[in-house]
Structure 1
Amino acid sequence: MENAPFFADVADGPTDGAAWWLITEDGVRVRAGLWGASKPRGTVLLFPGRTEYIEKYGRAAGDLAKRGYATFALDWRGQGLSDRLTGDAMSGHVMRFSDYQHDVNAMIATADTLDLPRPWHLLAHSMGGCIGLRAVMDGLPVQSCAFSGPMWGIKMSGSLRPLAWSLSWGSRKLGLGERYAPGTEPENYVLTEPFATNKLTSCPDMYQYMIDQALAYPELGLGGPSLHWLYEALSETRALARKPSPDLPCLTVLGSEEDIVDPARIIERMSRWPGGRLEVIESGRHEVLMDTPEMRGGVMELIGRFFDAPERVACETSSSKDRARPVAAAAPARQS
């Protein structure tokens, strides 16, 4: 494997971070990064969200290392330092959503080559949660899976959803699929959205952490998704919603103020996941792994305990009335 750039100066993670270039089976070059643990008791396969990159999870990797877990993360095709897929480097684009599984396959092959400590666990955020759900349904070799604000549906109004379907479908037929989805732009979100109105975190320090990374290494940044990506994402989330949950211990954390992915889809999925637990994080936004020290600490403690004992922790409070209350108040999932 060929060494790849790794920006330890902005990651704020364990000091042993390293990265490599991987070539997928369809010829795309993607970047994978590893943080070890002094005496690893297992490895967390970390699937980032759309627009994200390895270094953004440096602090999370530090939390996992304290519990004895190595962290192996990936830049998905079309973002981070992995190959961009259109002439516009800021466009979030993919030809087929299933192509991300080629990236997963390259990651798993490399984990085998590196002989990363087992058992392996999955931690997947947002778009990574969509990719990760497909992967575990297809037999990803992990002992358990944890999701943070997974993109099992995209949040939008009922009136906008049919328009999103028709516009994204039509753009492909007209050769306009690489254009930005309505309401998005070729700019890095954290460099254009004021902290006061951001949908990611309520922690000024964590938002500044993201801004500092974006300013130091603009090549990591990504703008809005293409219309083609939108169609592929809508199609994949709809297809996944129709499939049963796998028989694998699962923990999902969801911010009570989630406003990017569709909470109803998450609630519906977790209601029919055998051995699954949904934890609603009070006052959490989209990135509960990157919020205030108190919130982040509590969430990472829960995830760490889950990886230590997946079956036990998944069932600890799954029937608790307190845990069920915010779930019961949510709207039913949409199937389109």
Structure 2
Amino acid sequence: MRFFSLFAIFAIFELAYGIPEESYLAEHARLVEPFYENGESGTVKTRDDVSIFYKIFSHPDGKVHVLISHGWTEDTKKYDEVAYDLYQHGISTYILDYRGFGQSQRITEDPHISYIESYSDYLKDLDAFIGKVIRPRIGDAPLMALGHSMGSNILSIYAVENPQSFRKMVLVSPMLDIVTPYPERISWLISEFFSVIGLGDQYIPKHGPYKGDRPNLVTNSEVRFNKWMTDMRANSAMAVSGASFAWSAASLEATWRMKDDASKLKIPLFILQAGDDALVETEGQDYVCKRARNCFKMVFPNAKHELLHEKDIVRDKVIAEVVDYLLNFNF
């Protein structure tokens, strides 16, 4: 059974996590935006010559280093508030835009579609970021990892292939089962068929180019969701709004691989599960956590997919748990 450290118990009551929703826009502009803009920006080339954008928020006294792996349609900017929160606790963060997202290089002419033939390409992005950017800065210091949804899946596959890469991992609403209109195998067959006949870079049904808005299926915090929509409209060239057949097939294959390889996950693993998740099924999360060597799971029953961007009452608890785990808790 997991217990809070004494530090974390006091932290929950004495420290504010994030900025409150009632003054969100003003406080975000006053505190988070300057923090994000002052972070180190850069690009790194992968071994297949793709340019990957990243941001670094290095704490001068920080001894804990955390790589943040974003979810589908997201980018570094989406995690400005998360990086700001962790920085307040002496945690340095390192965030990359995977290929096809944010300010990283696009693989297709349409900048709004997510396209990938295999998740091995995302692993190349991660490998270049860790090997060429993070490790030269932190040396042999332990590296933690925090992933959301698709980003959790990428981290998990990377950790199986590189078991010494991370000291601990936090997986938030990991994409280990995808909600699909048909059974997963049928959805894969459809996506794979269109990929084989040369239409892998086309949108799957009901997906399409970015039109400036989307329905909120991901959080109970309207102010945080609306802020993200505003950011996307201001940078519409970087907005990703739909999945390709190739990305769909590759993503399903990646979830199956993680279930097959769950017992190979040996590092301490903390899964945060959203009870009202409309995008991923929780069965895959349960399956992986039961079979991983060292996994603890926490459920937030009424929360939606984006736990790191939820209403304050949920998000404060999520951030407190993440901070406690990264700074103090050992299995």
What is the TM-score when the length of structure 2 is the normalising length?
0.85
Q: CA deviation at 1:32?
A: 1.0
Number of residue equivalences: 300
1:163 matched to 2:186? The reply is yes
Change (3 A) 1:180 1:103: same
1:211 matched to 2:233? The reply is no
Match of 2:218 in 1: 200
Q: CA deviation at 1:209?
A: 1.7
Partners of 2:32 and 2:81 within 8 A in 1: no
Partners of 2:52 and 2:125 within 8 A in 1: yes
Identity of aligned residues (%): 23
Q: CA deviation at 1:237?
A: 1.3
Q: Deviations over 1:290-336 (max 9, x none)?
A: 01122111101101110113424xxxxxxxxxxxxxxxxxxxxxxxx
Distance in 2 (CA, whole Å) between partners of 1:217 and 1:162 is 36
Match of 2:280 in 1: 261
Residue type of the alignment partner of 2:170: A
How large is the Cα RMSD of the aligned pairs?
A: 2.1
Distance in 2 (CA, whole Å) between partners of 1:10 and 1:217 is 18
Match of 1:141 in 2: 165
Partners of 2:184 and 2:252 within 8 A in 1: no
1:32 matched to 2:54? The reply is yes
Partners of 1:43 and 1:117 within 8 A in 2: no
SS of 1:80's equivalent in the other structure is: coil
Change (3 A) 1:138 1:11: farther
Distance in 1 (CA, whole Å) between partners of 2:330 and 2:272 is 16
Match of 1:297 in 2: 316
Match of 1:308 in 2: 327
Q: CA deviation at 1:67?
A: 1.4
SS of 1:76's equivalent in the other structure is: coil
Change (3 A) 1:234 1:53: same
Match of 1:331 in 2: none
Name stretches of at least 5 consecutive residues in structure 2 with no aligned partner. Answer: 1-28
Q: CA deviation at 1:192?
A: 2.6
Residue type of the alignment partner of 2:236: P
1:277 matched to 2:296? The reply is yes
* Aligned counterpart for 2:115 among listed residues 65, 71, 93: 93
* Aligned counterpart for 2:255 among listed residues 237, 245, 252: 237
Partners of 1:144 and 1:310 within 8 A in 2: no
Distance in 2 (CA, whole Å) between partners of 1:292 and 1:298 is 10
Change (3 A) 1:64 1:10: closer
Change (3 A) 1:59 1:10: closer
Residue type of the alignment partner of 1:78: G
Distance in 2 (CA, whole Å) between partners of 1:14 and 1:63 is 12
Partners of 1:20 and 1:32 within 8 A in 2: yes
Match of 2:39 in 1: 17
Partners of 1:11 and 1:57 within 8 A in 2: no
Q: Deviations over 1:251-296 (max 9, x none)?
A: 1101110111121100111112232111111211110000112211
Name stretches of at least 5 consecutive residues in structure 1 with no aligned partner. Answer: 1-6, 313-336
Residue type of the alignment partner of 1:41: K
SS of 1:174's equivalent in the other structure is: helix
Change (3 A) 1:27 1:45: same
1:49-88 alignment, distance < 5 Å: 49-88=71-110
Change (3 A) 1:203 1:116: farther
Q: CA deviation at 1:183?
A: 2.2
Q: CA deviation at 1:193?
A: 2.5
Q: CA deviation at 1:118?
A: 2.8
Residue type of the alignment partner of 1:267: D
Distance in 1 (CA, whole Å) between partners of 2:40 and 2:251 is 31
Q: Deviations over 1:47-67 (max 9, x none)?
A: 001111111101001111111
Q: Deviations over 1:221-273 (max 9, x none)?
A: 10111001111111121122111242211111011101111211001111122
* Aligned counterpart for 2:195 among listed residues 164, 169, 172: 172
What is the TM-score when the length of structure 1 is the normalising length?
0.84
Distance in 1 (CA, whole Å) between partners of 2:167 and 2:184 is 36
Distance in 2 (CA, whole Å) between partners of 1:54 and 1:12 is 15
Q: CA deviation at 1:113?
A: 2.1
